[in-house]
A and B are shown apart, each in its own frame.
With several copies, the nearest count.
Chain A
Amino acid sequence: MRVMTVKLCYFAWVRERVGKGEEVVELPEGIGSVADLVAWLRSRGPEYAAAFQRADVIRAAIDRTHVKPTAAIAGAREIAFFPPVTGG
């Protein structure tokens, strides 16, 4: 089975709920989009379920560029999840 290794980063309350700022994971086959990845993450345990419960408000970036949930993750080295930004 082909696996994809990717670094995941979490920020703000997503980070607090997951309980870590980053991790390297091996993704099983069949995870094509950011939305697929979120669904898979939710199945990894209660801390992930809590962090990704409000999937509609979670934003994502692939290799430091904002992306939509439908974005393909093929080739990504770093995928980040975070709440809507509140800087400025």
Chain B
Amino acid sequence: MAVRVQREPFDIGAEVARLIAGRTDIGAVVTFSGLVRDVNDGRRVTAIWLEHYPGMTEEELARVEAEAQLRWPLQASLVMHRYGKLSPGETIVLVVTASAHRQAAFEAAEFLMDYLKTRAPFWKKEEMGAQGGQWVEARQSDDAAAARWDRR
């Protein structure tokens, strides 16, 4: 059960290995990695700049993770998020969930991503070379994705 916010890249294999090391009660591990794409909504992106709210970011991610643990029987979980300048192909976010059975691990990972997308205080600015930068607008589809968990 951990939250980490950092500039540095992370190593998905090492994180999963650390999470399951010495455990023989885990049946399912789901990971989600979010990557920077070089095209977003038709715009060519040369890099993104991720601003965040130090202090609140960690607290909010911990609240989201705690909510996932209330809803699903998770044996381990991890939420990592980067900030600063990132190039296309780099990993922005990593979510890992571990449970005895696959459905809980899948659902909790989707929930963490949906909630994080609408609650964690990060803001993306896309750099588009000579055309300057542009703040990314929030997606209604992200609100809808998060709202589907309200009914439960």
Contacts and interface: CB of A to CB of B under 8 A. Distances in A.
In the complex, A touching B (Cβ < 8 A): yes
Which of A66, A84, A87 neighbours the largest number of chain B CB atoms within 10 Å of its CB? Answer: A87
Given A12-B135, A13-B135, A86 B122 contact: yes
Interface in B73-127: 81, 92-93, 113, 116-125
A88 interface: yes
Interface in A3-46: 9, 11-13, 15
B138 A88 contact: no
Contacts of B136: 86
B60 A12 contact: no
Nearest to B52: A87
A64 B34 contact: no
A84 B51 CA distance: 13
B98 to A, nearest CB: 16
Interface in A63-77: 64-66
A64 B137 contact: no
A39 B7 CA distance: 36
A11 B55 contact: no
Nearest to B95: A88
Interface size class of B (residues with CB under 8 A): 20 to 34
Nearest to B49: A12
B41 to A, nearest CB: 12
B121 A61 contact: yes
Given A64-B56, A80-B56, A85 B120 contact: yes
A27 B150 CA distance: 36
Given A12-B51, A64-B56, A80-B56, A88 B116 contact: yes
Contacts of A65: 56, 59
B16 interface: no
A16 B149 CA distance: 34
Nearest to B114: A88
Given A88-B92, A88-B113, A83 B135 contact: yes
Interface of A: 9, 11-13, 15, 61, 64-66, 80, 82-88
23 contacts: A11-B53, A11-B123, A12-B51, A65-B56, A66-B60, A66-B119, A80-B53, A80-B121, A82-B53, A84-B138, A85-B118, A85-B119, A85-B138, A86-B123, A86-B137, A87-B92, A87-B117, A88-B34, A88-B81, A88-B92, A88-B113, A88-B117, A88-B142
